[in-house]
Amino acid sequence: MKNYLELIPVSAKIHRRQTRMTRWCIVISVFLISVIFGMADMFLQSQKNLAIMIDGAWHVAFRELDAEQMAFLSARPEVKTVTRYAAANYKLNMDYEVGGVQTVLCGFDETFFEIYPAAGLLEGSFPKGTEEALVSEGMRNRLGLGIGDEVEMTTPGGSLSFRISGFVEDTSMMLKTDAFGLFVNTDTYLSCFREATLREDFVCYVEFLPHCRIQKAIRDICGQLHIPEDKVSENARLMGTLMQSSDHYILMLYLIAFLLAVLVAVSGMMMILGSMNSNVAQRTEFFGMMRCLGATGKQVRRYVRMEAAFWCLKAIPPGLFASVLTVWGLCRMLKVITPTWFGEMPGFGVSMPGVFFGAVIGFLTVFFASRTPTRKAAEVSPLTAVSGNADTVFAAKRAANTGRMHVETALGLHHAAGSRKNLILLTSSFAFSIILFLGFGIGVDFMKHAIKTLRPYTPDVAMISHDNACSIPDSLYAELKGMEQKGNVGIRRVYGRSFAYDLPVHMQGESKTAMLVSYEAYQFGWAESSLTQGDMESAENGEGILLVEKQGFVSEPGSEIELETDRGIQRVRVSGVLRDAPFDGGEDVGTIICSEDLFRELTGETGYTILDIQLRDRSDETVEKLRSMAGDAYSFSDSRASNRETRAVYFSFALFVYGFLAVVALIAVFHIINSVGMSVSARMRQYGAMRAIGISIRQLQSMIAAETFAYLAGGMAEGLLVGLPLHYYLYRQAVTQRWGDAWSLPVAECLIIAAVMTAAAAAAMLGPVHRIRRMSVVETIGM
């Protein structure tokens, strides 16, 4: 040994157990911090991908620009792409038709495809000439078209003819509404449909270069081109994920995210501090010894610095590495499960923020924490430092109260509460688990409000009568039902509804309008969860009806309603009240639901307005088969693409939100196991001495249990005291302000985290108890 600094690895070897624990602690803390930040980063990236797929890659859109302004815009250095876009008949109410099918009409520049990657050009090329057009995949398939063919479009102003230059993928909107699409270039659009299109419909989409300060760029552009504020709109979804939004609500969400990030960082620091503090005693002794042997204060400080560097080197890289692997795993999951949406996600990208925060927080905390024992060693005299009386981490200043309880319980509680510093440190580390969990729990509340999910009743495809009449014959329903029962053609469920619109009703002495809808067994089953009063069964039997509650339509089960149908005035009894229904007839129109038999009895109609189908096999062949069964008599709505979209959005959100919660719960578990383990470790010598005096293992277990319980109880109380107000505040900002839902006690979250903590506390005692069982008294007390 040439230099005293070479003692570092030697000392690490001698205190192997302690060293291993501390190292694991740092590894895991760094891992958890880095995973959380890495996940947050990947979450933003996935949401950005999703935003680009759904809403496009544009950042800002300007309406009503003239040619000069356009030219100026394209010339700006920070602008990457500019494209003009206009659409007509996107609400399918303007009588533009090809082959008798409602057709959406769009005009755009060639750059449009860069901004809308979801609008894929299947084959052919962009329509350069005024007589050329792209048409949708659906139109190609159903009309049997090829490139070079002519299509004839009927418009309110006469018919127009285009030569097909290529085909574009169907959008989920076109699939769902069973519409065609026809796309021409901007000039053609302007010359053919000028009168049909409002000037406001013309939008200029702008995509900026990466790393551009978008809000500033928008301000500059608006200022220079004199564009009024109401002509500017942002791609809120994309801007939100780029952290560049100007929306107040989204800024609030950033603030919440920042708050949570700070909480995570603090909890990571606490974990590392806790683990390093626990071997302060041993290390104080060691530094005391070094001072005794003649090391100067400066030498000890240098030693400490080197030692911290040694910890960092040994523990931080493995933690970071593990977190990178975990984040990769999550990304793979996204990519494999929903390849259409997240194919763009980096496969083996390293999240810079994750690695950065993990490394920096780990490094700083280790460095900071490693100084404490030096200070302590300097404070205590070298003699006490080496005499073995610096045993306890925080020496008690009062004697334990052994009068009322068993001595082991009293001592256990005293170990926890004897030193206020120790108690505060440990209970607050327990409390942090609750605070973090409640904080991140807001993500779930936010998700429930902001992210649409598929309902049990969401169909994959549907057949819908053209004129809202009950014109789909009973026989088609029977045929499909037969296929469902035989398990044929990949059908999972078929369920139909008949609608009777604008029925005059008389209830509670007032005349109103309502629509009558028929349900069958599946739909009655799904409605069960929104039943607030009365019973479902008598409605299902046809004895009564269900009323959907809304303003002006409030009633009690048992009251009567008069309905006027083609068959005259009929009286029905309300047998149940529903909170809501999947459809709504509009303002001042009530919704009345009844069984199919009752519907027939009341209206005389036997057909259906809608047949919804859920598929077991969602392939194109299945859908084509069903489409051909429907023929042209009904429109065929294909919701698979939009369902996929909904599912992808929800999945990507849920993966991360629950991922965060899982990591937070892990932090709690680790925190608790670590704190208890460290606390026991620090007193191992004392436990050894007690064993020599004659304490039994069982009594030692109770002592540790009492100590753990004190931390748990104190931590929970403290955690709820701080966590609930925090939850209330975050909920108000993230949910109440936007959706108006009032805050309620997050009982489920509290119970879950309490259960996790209790289980962790129980598990935390296993290790130490095992160690005590195996402990050699002689070696432990060093005789």
Partner 1 sequence: MEIMEVQDLCKTYGKGEAKVEALKYVSFTLQKGEFAAVVGESGSGKSTLLNCIGALDEPDGGKILVDGQDLLAMGEEERTIFRRRNIGFIFQSFHLIPELNVEQNIIFPLLLDYKKPDLRQVDGILEVLGLQERRGHLPGQLSGGQQQRVAIGRALITRPKLILADEPTGNLDRKNSREVIELLTKASRQYQQTILMITHNPNLITSVDRVMQVADGVLSDLGGNANEKLS
**What DSSP string runs through 635-690?**
EEEE-HHHHHHHHHHHHHHHHHHHHHHHHHHHHHHHHHHHHHHHHHHHTHHHHHHH
In which residue are the tokens 């409030």 written? 554
Rounded Cα gap, residues 108 and 106, in angstroms: 7
Task: Say if CB 424 and CB 411 are below 8 A apart.
Answer: no
Would you say 606 or 701 has its CB closer to partner 1? Answer: 701
Strand duo 158-168 + 150-155: pairing: antiparallel
Nearer to partner 1, 411 or 539 (CB): 411
Measured from the CB atom, is 83 or 419 closer to partner 1? 419
The token duo for 36 is: 């959380």
Q: Could you give the CA distance from residue 215 to residue 232 in angstroms, rounded to a whole number?
A: 12
CA separation for the pair 88, 92 (Å, rounded)? 9
Sign of CA dihedral 287, 289, 295, 297: positive
Minimum CB–partner distance for residue 768 and partner 1 (Å): 17
Residue placing its CB nearer to partner 1 in the complex, 336 or 693: 693
- Residue 389 vs 737, nearer CB to partner 1: 389
Shortest Å distance, C-beta 680 to partner 1:
15
User: Of 114 and 391, which CB lies nearer to partner 1 in the complex structure?
Assistant: 391
Least CB distance to partner 1 at residue 677 (A): 20
- For residue 561, the surrounding DSSP H or E stretch is strand 560-565
Round to whole Å and give the CA distance between 377 and 283: 8
**Residue 770 C-beta: closest distance to partner 1, Å:** 14
Which residues are at the interface with partner 1 (CB under 8 A)? Answer: 387-389, 391-392, 395-400, 402, 406-408, 411, 414-415, 418, 686, 689-699, 776-778, 781-783
User: Judged by CB, which is closer to partner 1: 372, or 699?
Assistant: 699
Task: At 541, list the tokens.
Answer: 């039997």
In sequence order, the β-bridge partners of residue 560 are 573
CB nearer to partner 1: pick between 433 and 708: 708
Question: Sign of dihedral through CA atoms 729, 731, 733, 737?
Answer: negative
Q: What length does the chain have?
A: 783
Q: Closest separation between CB of residue 287 and partner 1, Å?
A: 20
- Shortest separation between residue 781's beta carbon and partner 1, angstroms: 6
Closest distance to partner 1 from the beta carbon of 6 (Å): 25
**Alpha carbons 453 and 458: distance in angstroms, whole number:** 10
For residue 441, give the amino acid letter.
Answer: G
Q: Which is nearer to partner 1, 402 or 485 (CB)?
A: 402
Structure tokens at 666: 């892990």
Residue 264: exposure state from Cβ atoms within 10 A (0-12, 13-18, ≥19): buried
Best CA proximity match to 142, nearest among 188, 102, 86: 102
User: Measured from the CB of residue 760, what is the shortest distance to partner 1 in angstroms?
Assistant: 26
CA distance 319 to 316: 5
Paired strand residues for 152 = 161
Q: How far apart are CA 594 and CA 570, in angstroms?
A: 13
CB of 273 to partner 1, least distance (A): 23
Q: What is the 3-state secondary structure (H, E, C) of 341-370?
A: HHCCCCCCCCCHHHHHHHHHHHHHHHHHHC
Q: How far is the CB of 696 from partner 1 (least distance, A)?
A: 5
Give whichever of 176 and 683 is closer to partner 1, judged by the CB atom. 683
Please report how close the Cβ of residue 771 comes to partner 1 at its closest, in angstroms. Answer: 15
Q: Nearest approach, Cβ of 693 to partner 1 (angstroms)?
A: 6
Q: Which is nearer to partner 1, 381 or 488 (CB)?
A: 381
Separation of alpha carbons 276 and 368, rounded Å: 10
**Of residues 246 and 389, the one with the C-beta less far from partner 1:** 389
